[in-house]
Structures are given as C-alpha cells and as structure tokens.
Structure 1
Amino acid sequence: MKRIHNPHIEDNTSWDIIIIGGGATGLGTALDATTRGLKTLLVEQSDFAKGTSSRSTKLVHGGVRYLAQGDINLVKHALEERGLLQQNAAHLVNKEEFIIPCYSWFSIIKYLSGLTIYDWLSGKYSFGKSKFLSKSETLKLMPEIKSKGLKGAIRYFDGKFDDARLAINIAQTAIKHGATLLNYTKVIALKKQDETVTGIETENVLTGKENTFTGKVVINATGVFVDDILKMNNPASKNMVRPSQGVHIVLDKSFLNTESALMIPKTSDGRVLFAVPWHKHLLVGTTDTPINEHSLEPKALKEEVDFILATASSYFNRKPTENDILSVFSGLRPLAAPTNNDGNSTKEISRDHKLLISAKGLITITGGKWTTYRRMAEETVDLAINHAHLVAKDCITRTLKINGCTDFRDGSYLDIYGSDKEKIEELMRTEADLCEKLHPDFPYNKAEVVWAIKNEMAETIEDILSRRLRVLFIDAKAAMEMAPVVAAILAKALHTDKDWEQQQVEIFNNLASNYIHTNSKQKQAILTE
C-alpha cells in the first residue's frame, strides 16, 4: 500500500491558489478550488485540524443561542449547511436528540417557542420536530439529571460529528480531486513583487527544508494566526482577530447515562453549556474566555474547569469533581477583534465569518464555525476568482460526497471510517497481528494506526492518538499508555530507530500531561509510571 504523505514539489511550480491553513476553512477552500479546476496548494504548519478545528463541541448546528441574539440569517444558513453536511458526510454526521430541562413553566414556553422557529428555519433540512416532554418522560430519557423542581423539558434535534475525522476526510477528498496538501509546512515569509503578494516561502518543520511557492492568489485561512500572516505583508497592520478560549472536559458516560445530549440554556454568565455523548464518553463544555495570546496548544485555566464542573453539578445528580476528569482540552475561536473599549467582553464580538482582500494577491478569511465551512469556502473561492481573474468552473460542493460517505452501518466502531472501513478490515484479515488492540479499555487496533500512517498523512504519535483515533481528547492517561505501541508502528513505517521511537514517546507524554487536570505532583507521578 503506497503511503500518502508530503509529496516532493519543485519550487518552480506555479499555482492558481495557495491556501495557508489546514483547518476546516482552509481544507474546505482547497476542496472547493480544486473541484473548480484550479491548481491548488495548501500548506499547514502542523497537522491538519491541529488547532481550533479539532477542539469544537462536536456539534453540527444552526446555533440556538444565535437565534436568541436575533441573528436569523446566520442561523438559517447554518441549518441549511447542517443538512448538506449530513448528506455529504453521512458516516460522520449524526442526528442527536437534545434535552433542555426546565424548572419553570415560563422557561418551557420560552424555549419551545424559540425552538419552533428554529425548526421552521431549517425547512426541508429539518432533523426533527421540537416538543415538550413531561417530567416523567424527561427522567426516563435522562435519569441522572436533577429532578427536584423539574417541570419537564424541551426536546429538539441537531447534529453531532467528529471534527478532526471530518477534516481528514475533506483533505483526502481534495487530494483525490487533484489538490496538493502539505502538513508540517510553516510559512516563514510572503513572496512579494512591489505591493503584490505573489507566493509564500515555507519551511518543513520536520526536516528543515525550505521552499518557495508562487501563486496567482494567496488565501490566509489560519484562524487565530491570521494576524501573524497579515503582519508578514504589513508589520503595521492592526489585529483582525481577538481569540476566545473554549474549554471542554470529558467524563465517564455514567454521569448522564443516556444517548441524549443535555443543553443548559443559561449558565451563571448568561451563556450555553452542552453535555454530549461522544465516543462512549461525556463531553461537557464550553467556556468563552477572551485571551491575548494564541498558540497551537492553549491550556485550560483553572477557573474555566471550575466553572464547567460547577454548572454541571447544578444539573447532574452525581456531582463531578476534578478527579473524575479523564481529559481536558482547550480551543481558540478566531473572533473578529472588538472595536469598542470593552476588551474583556466576547458577547458582542461577531460569530459570523469575515472575508476581505488584505492586499493585492492576498485574501483573508476568518471566523465562522465548522457547520458553515463549505459556504465560507465557496465565498472565498468566488472572491479569489474575481480578484485574480481566474478561469474556473462552477462550485459543486453542495452535492459533493466527502471521502468515506456512506449510509451503511452495522454498529461497529469502525463505522466512523465510512466506506474506508472495508479496507481497514482487509488489513486485519491479511495481517493477523494488526487485529491487536492498543489498550484493553478501548476498541482501537494496530490496523487503524497503519491505516492512519499510510492513508491519512499521520506523521507523529500525537497525530494518531489525538486527531485520528481521538484518544487523547477522551482519556489522556490511556493515550499515554498506548503511545509506545503507536511509536513502534510509526518507527517501522518511517524506517527510524529506537532512539527516535523513545524520543517520540517522551514528546507525546509531555504534551498529554497537559490534558490531565490534576496537580503537578500527580502529573509527574503519571509521567514516571
């Protein structure tokens, strides 16, 4: 089986579109551009979806809270895209039942009215009709929520997905249609002629090799890093983005003991919190904390974790504590920078995307959310075509199936691979040792690691255990226990030695320790076990 990884590209290759950033927006833009017949290159400084795009609340949704804010167009467009995404990535996007517990009759009227509008806005892409549930019906569906004072609940439907897996499948789809995608390729400078941006200069962060790529238009789709790219063009440019940190914790599924998701409509700071069943665990979040710095590995603040635990405790019968947290992770939202003087508020910062020409030959796209990635990409490529006078076909992504898309499922955990499932099963049949599990508490096996290396451009332990198998985000300690087995498979595939193998395990364990919410002495004990 030939391995899919960074291809060798000559510097003198000329591209129609060069995209910087391998998150949801960048990958979507690459897919849109290449399917219009444009010669497309995408570069990502780390792994695909390393940042924000692997750290979402795992919802494909219109945004109930945006409806409350009166942003009808944003919600309507997102609901349409939710429907398209479910059709085009049926193996990854699932309909999810959400329960809003109500402890007053007024809240029942309020939320049922709002969600009836939400259903109406979805039109032909509806996932199901909202309805009132009695107290007994609510507790039957979700037995572990607080029953004292409960009047009933509102049930509504939205989508749930695996964000990083979708990113990889979009990348595969783009490659199949002719795009060239390079991960671990960092932009170190913009190439310019007079005042026009004509390309990029890059460095491969794994090998140190530098390259220069020329393109007719460069797309800056780097999320919270957009200002870094803009300052390469103009060091005096004002910041376009103000990052907001969202934290999630993962608990044992028994805390809710249900297949339904919980939506807490109004937390103590006036926001929304979700508790969503995900990979046989319970994902709880998120926070919304304005910060001044951005990084590839943002760290959860203690007050953010405390806030999630306190909010969950007010709804759960069994109150979760710090010791119950299996993993904690943070993501940074690239919100439009505020223009007022209240630098600590994120409530008025735009959640919609922003698209603009930053300089001749340079287009910037930022903001938005996973659900609307396809629409954002279409608008971005439309602008690029007009700006650079490119000759291109019409957009086809509304009906384009993402790699792996299939409606067939047999209940196996391998269903998440969609139509690629058969190929992984074939690997297991041809090499018996690949059937071995990576950990006794998880279903994942060695064949999936080999598949990720050969077909999903995984280069490191983190790529595999964080974004291909998602274990780091589910149970950080278990991920550390799997690391040596994964390192050995990687070393064999990449033809490296035992020293490299051990070094990779140490690098991963240091990273994974940040996903364990405990004190420094306990972390050190885990690292030295």
Structure 2
Amino acid sequence: MMKGFLNRDRFLEILNKRNHWDIVVIGGGATGLGIALDSASRGYKTLLLEQNDFSKGTSSRSTKLIHGGIRYLAQGNIKLVYEALKERGFLLKNAPHLVKRQKFVIPIFSWNMGIFYWTGLKIYEWLAGSLSFGPSKFLSKNEMIKTFPEIKPDNLKGGILYYDGQFDDSRLAINIAQTCVQKKGILLNYFQVKNLIKIKGKTSGVIACDLETKKNYSIYSKTVINATGVFSDFILKMDEFTWPILIKPSQGTHIVLNKSFFSSSNAIVIPKTSDGRILFSVPWYDHVLVGTTDTFLDKCILDPKPLEQEIDFILHTFEKYFLYTPKKNNILSAFSGLRPLFVPRTYSSSAAAKDISRSHKLMISPSGLITIIGGKWTTYRKMAEDTVNKAIKIGKLNKVFSKTKDLKIYGSISSWKNHNLHWKKYGEDEFHIQNIIEENPLLGENFISKKPYYCTNAEVIWMVRYEMARTIEDVLARRTRLLFLNAKVAIDIAPRVAALMAKELSLDQEWEKKQIDTFKKLAMQYYYPIA
C-alpha cells in the first residue's frame, strides 16, 4: 500500500492484529475525520469507524463555503466568527488544491442598509487580521449590473464586494482521511458500532460489525469519542445516559442550476430573506449552487429529502432578485443536509433554527464517553483539537500538543501548479491517475457523453483502489460530485461505473444490478421534476 492511500483490506489486517487503541472515533464526517487526524498526528494509536461512507451525511451536503459567517457576526457571535476566520486562513494554507478565495457581493437596495453592511464587513475583515482574504469595496450600480447581468436593476443602489472561501467538502474529507493514514491512523468505512464496552462502569471500547463481511469485533480503547453529528443520540443511548441537551436536526436544502441563470464568477449574498436567513448563489464546478434553508425536523434520517416548501422558498427568493426565473424542471440536482443543533430539552418549539448557536459543544458522560456536537466545516480543525485535548485527560494519555495548524493536507504539494478545474481536486494524486492512463490509454477516455461533465475510467479505478469507494454512490456522490451537479447524468452513467467497480472488486453481475437499482432509487431524490 502506498503511503497515505486508503486500502480497506490493509486496514482490516491491522485491526485483526491490534486490539488496543488510544482513541477510537465513531463517525467519519468532518468532525470525526478531523479528530482522527489530530489524534494520529500527535502519535496516538487511532482508529475511526464509519457505518456508511466518509462524509456520507451532512459533511458532503454543505453550501461549499469556508467562511467566518457574516450572519453570526450580525447575531453578535464575535467569538465564533473570529475563530472561524482564523481557521479559514489555516485551511487555505494547508489545502490550496481544494480551498480557494472567492469574491462575494451583497447587493444594496437602501443606503442605510449599505452603511450597516459596510461597517459589518470591515469588522469581518479586521477580525481576520493577517489571515484576511482581501479588502472589501463598494460597487456602483453600473458595476453591479456588469458583474451580475441577470440581476434586477429595480431599486438597486450598488453592492459591497468582500472575500470569503469556497471548497469541495467531500473531496476534502477524503484528503483528511488520507492525511490521517500518513500519520499511521486507521479508518474503516461500512463499519457499524453496535454497542459500547464497559469495564467497571467506564467506556473502554466498542463492539463493531464489518457490514461487508458481517464479522463482529470487540475493540478496546483508552478513550471513545462520539462524533456522529445528528445521530449522536443513538450512541448516547448505548451509554444509557440522558443529557439535558437535545440534539435537534435542522435541514438545509440547496438546488443546482445551469450557469445560464447566473453567469457571474462572483457569488452573491441575499442578506435577508423572508425568514430572516441569508441565501447564497455561488458558482461551483461550472454550475450555480443556490441555498440554503433552515428547517427543524422531528427525526434524523441518513438520506434527507428536500421538502417542497424549501424548493419553493429558494426559487421564490431567487426570482425576486434575478431576471431569469428557474422552474422546478430546470433544477439539475437538489440535496439536503442535516445540521446537529443542540438545544435544552425545555427549548421553545417556536424558536427558529437560524437563531440557535453553531458553536460546538463537548459533553463527557459519567462513563467517560466523549461526545462532540455542533460546529461547522470551517472550524473542524479547532473542534478536533479541543476534543483530543479532552481525550488526553479522560484516557490519561501522554500529553502531546496539537500539530494540525501547520499540517499540509494530503494532495497539497508545493510544486503542484495545475489549474485545470477537473484535475485540480485530486492535487498530487493527478500524477498517479495519469500513470494508470499511460499504462492503458483507453482508461483515459471520458465516458460521459454530455458536456461539460467529465470522468475517465482511470479515475473510477483509482477511487476504488486508493480512496475506499465501495458503491456507485461513493463514486458519483462524493469522490466525484456528479450526483450533486446533475442527477440525471449520474443515473445515466451508473451502469458504466458499476461495471468498472465490479471488475476492480471482483464482484459479479448480481452485485452490479443491485448497485444500479439502489443508486437509481437514491438519485431520484435529487432529481427534478420528481417522478
């Protein structure tokens, strides 16, 4: 196995030989992966278990922003904004192949609001300090129309341009996992924790099942960390302890449109929608991503569906500001993610999800189980650092300070200079994929007939061999982003992906058929008009 590459068989060999760990992390989203990386980079024996695929849940369904959060600034949460702006700077430095500076513009329709936003953005810029992405500036009405040809000019006074960050969330998750492996951490997807091991009342490990082989493992650890986000209560119930905090899921929905509806390379921010939120319209992989919503749900589900009222809200808000009005049949993909918000069990049911803090919270049960909830992608590294610091105390580990502020994420080699949008997301791994193509030029052919989409056979083979892709969904949703960009095209090429994967994994046609059927059923949740 090449250093830093994900190889499930190799990881299982190590698990079978080693039964005692310093830290076991449950959950393979941004938070869990960040914790595993922080832990492994300090030299602790680290194991991460994810019951599905890495970043399957909320962590692949974000608005693709690395930002301080101008909305949180308006709410007066200076501490969260300051922390996030620092982390934004670290991410740009450590993962430049996936994180980039992005221009954002707030349209101004009254001078009073213009002064308010200008003042706020100057504070935002000041809080970033030496890690600022660039100075904000005022745009005239004519500059706004030139920058955004589709914007409605009625009552428009001008705009304020500022800088924030954009990224590919699930690609960063894979690269964090690879960085963890470079530091001798072990990660396993499709590995479900069934119960906690208790010794004299203390959490001392987990009982887990390899969902592919159905083999059960008793895994002992000095510390166990619950980083399962909206599903944290499932693990807490295994601990037989009820917290006074309720983990309440809030759904955020996005739609993806053809860039003909929004041709600018700059993002636009609608600062105050009818429900008091912010709506973003952001260029992303030659498309435009519009969202998000903030809707409380009664229960957590692995594959949340966009609600019709959420789709209607996004389209209606978009229509108020732009000349060309998309209809539901113009939506190429629609997806939802669940935010794990923590509220008192006595919270008011009338409280709005947008008003609940996005700060993270660490909880320690009497058994020593550590649970981390809340937070956001931008602050994943700081959340991980705080969690591992707590794990050192709980597990009585030798104290080692965090090393991740300056730790380069896998893929971000200093000599890498390729700016091709398609290949950039692979960072240094582009060279390895090109080697596969050199060995067999036929594997370099694009097998997607519809432009501008592009994927070679070699990429799928790479994702199976070295990124632990186990299903069609793993490839088309998270290793590539096709399901999030155009669900119909993803459905069309699923059989080709299944055939490539089956050959690579030595699986039969029955597996192929089942995979295709399962993926099509899932992908129809992203596809409009809904059948």
Instruction: Say whether the fold is shared (TM-score over 0.5).
Output: yes
Aligned to 2:146: 140
Aligned counterparts of 1:59 and 1:90: Cα–Cα separation in 2:
14
For 2:33, which of 8, 27, 30 is the aligned residue? 27
**Greater CA deviation, 150-159 or 333-342?**
333-342
For 2:88, which of 82, 103, 111 is the aligned residue? 82
For the Cα contact (< 8 Å) 1:108–1:132, is it kept in 2? no
Q: CA offsets, 1:348-395, max 9 Å, x none?
A: 322100012123331011100000000000000000001211014221
**Greater CA deviation, 8-17 or 45-54?**
8-17
For 1:460, which of 467, 471, 481 is the aligned residue? 471
For the Cα contact (< 8 Å) 1:216–1:361, is it kept in 2? no
Aligned counterparts of 1:332 and 1:32: Cα–Cα separation in 2:
25
Q: 1:5 is aligned with what amino acid?
A: R
For the Cα contact (< 8 Å) 1:240–1:337, is it kept in 2? yes
Any residues of structure 2 matched to 1:365-380 within 5 Å, and which?
365-380=372-387
Structure 1 runs of 4+ aligned residues shifted over 6 Å read: none
Q: Displacement of 1:176 after TM fit? A: 1.2
Aligned counterparts of 1:150 and 1:350: Cα–Cα separation in 2:
32
For the Cα contact (< 8 Å) 1:38–1:392, is it kept in 2? no
**SS of alignment partner, residue 159 of structure 2:** strand
2:394 equivalent to 1:383: no
**Greater CA deviation, 78-87 or 360-369?**
360-369
Q: Displacement of 1:237 after TM fit? A: 4.7
**SS of alignment partner, residue 337 of structure 1:** strand
For the Cα contact (< 8 Å) 1:227–1:239, is it kept in 2? no
Any residues of structure 2 matched to 1:218-257 within 5 Å, and which?
218-234=224-240, 236-237=242-243, 240-257=246-263
For 1:417, which of 423, 426, 447 is the aligned residue? 426
For the Cα contact (< 8 Å) 2:245–2:344, is it kept in 1? no
**Greater CA deviation, 402-411 or 175-184?**
402-411
Q: Displacement of 1:315 after TM fit? A: 1.0
2:24 equivalent to 1:13: no
Q: Displacement of 1:56 after TM fit? A: 0.3
For the Cα contact (< 8 Å) 2:236–2:242, is it kept in 1? no
Number of residue equivalences: 520
**SS of alignment partner, residue 353 of structure 2:** coil
**Greater CA deviation, 264-273 or 135-144?**
135-144
For the Cα contact (< 8 Å) 1:197–1:359, is it kept in 2? no
Could you say if the C-alpha distance between residues 235 and 517 of structure 1 is closer, same or farther in structure 2, counting changes exceeding 3 Å? farther
Aligned counterparts of 2:404 and 2:205: Cα–Cα separation in 1:
26
Q: Displacement of 1:133 after TM fit? A: 0.2
2:432 equivalent to 1:429: no
For 2:7, which of 1, 4, 19 is the aligned residue? 4
Any residues of structure 2 matched to 1:128-277 within 5 Å, and which?
128-234=134-240, 236-237=242-243, 240-277=246-283
For the Cα contact (< 8 Å) 1:338–1:349, is it kept in 2? no
**Greater CA deviation, 229-238 or 379-388?**
229-238
For 1:505, which of 516, 520, 523 is the aligned residue? 516
**Greater CA deviation, 58-67 or 337-346?**
337-346
Q: CA offsets, 1:60-108, max 9 Å, x none?
A: 0000000000011110110000000000001000000001111111121
Aligned to 1:490: 501
Aligned counterparts of 1:402 and 1:236: Cα–Cα separation in 2:
37
2:311 equivalent to 1:300: no
Could you say if the C-alpha distance between residues 380 and 48 of structure 1 is closer, same or farther in structure 2, counting changes exceeding 3 Å? same
**SS of alignment partner, residue 347 of structure 1:** helix
Aligned to 1:527: none
Aligned to 1:526: none
**SS of alignment partner, residue 10 of structure 1:** helix
For the Cα contact (< 8 Å) 1:15–1:41, is it kept in 2? yes
**Greater CA deviation, 403-412 or 183-192?**
403-412
For the Cα contact (< 8 Å) 2:27–2:226, is it kept in 1? yes
Aligned counterparts of 2:277 and 2:345: Cα–Cα separation in 1:
22
Q: 2:232 is aligned with what amino acid?
A: V
**Greater CA deviation, 443-452 or 54-63?**
443-452
TM-score of the aligned structures, taking structure 1 as reference length: 0.96
For the Cα contact (< 8 Å) 1:88–1:402, is it kept in 2? yes
Aligned counterparts of 2:371 and 2:242: Cα–Cα separation in 1:
16
- Structure 1, unpaired ranges of 5+: 524-529
For the Cα contact (< 8 Å) 1:36–1:395, is it kept in 2? yes
For the Cα contact (< 8 Å) 2:244–2:344, is it kept in 1? no
Q: What's the RMSD between the two structures over aligned residues?
A: 1.4
Q: Displacement of 1:124 after TM fit? A: 0.3
**SS of alignment partner, residue 257 of structure 1:** coil
For the Cα contact (< 8 Å) 1:173–1:403, is it kept in 2? yes
Aligned to 1:450: 461
Any residues of structure 2 matched to 1:101-112 within 5 Å, and which?
101-112=107-118
Q: 2:503 is aligned with what amino acid?
A: K
**Greater CA deviation, 350-359 or 33-42?**
350-359
Q: Displacement of 1:109 after TM fit? A: 0.9
2:56 equivalent to 1:45: no
2:353 equivalent to 1:362: no
Q: 1:219 is aligned with what amino acid?
A: I
For the Cα contact (< 8 Å) 1:11–1:213, is it kept in 2? no
**SS of alignment partner, residue 229 of structure 1:** helix
Aligned counterparts of 2:241 and 2:82: Cα–Cα separation in 1:
38
- Structure 2, unpaired ranges of 5+: none
Could you say if the C-alpha distance between residues 258 and 271 of structure 1 is closer, same or farther in structure 2, counting changes exceeding 3 Å? same
Aligned counterparts of 1:48 and 1:90: Cα–Cα separation in 2:
21
Q: 2:432 is aligned with what amino acid?
A: K
Q: Displacement of 1:235 after TM fit? A: 5.7
**SS of alignment partner, residue 425 of structure 2:** helix
Aligned counterparts of 1:338 and 1:517: Cα–Cα separation in 2:
37
Aligned counterparts of 1:97 and 1:173: Cα–Cα separation in 2:
29
Q: CA offsets, 1:284-325, max 9 Å, x none?
A: 000000111101101111000100000011111101110110
Q: 2:384 is aligned with what amino acid?
A: A
Could you say if the C-alpha distance between residues 12 and 129 of structure 1 is closer, same or farther in structure 2, counting changes exceeding 3 Å? closer
Aligned counterparts of 1:500 and 1:368: Cα–Cα separation in 2:
38
Aligned counterparts of 1:268 and 1:429: Cα–Cα separation in 2:
54
**SS of alignment partner, residue 485 of structure 1:** helix
**SS of alignment partner, residue 271 of structure 1:** coil
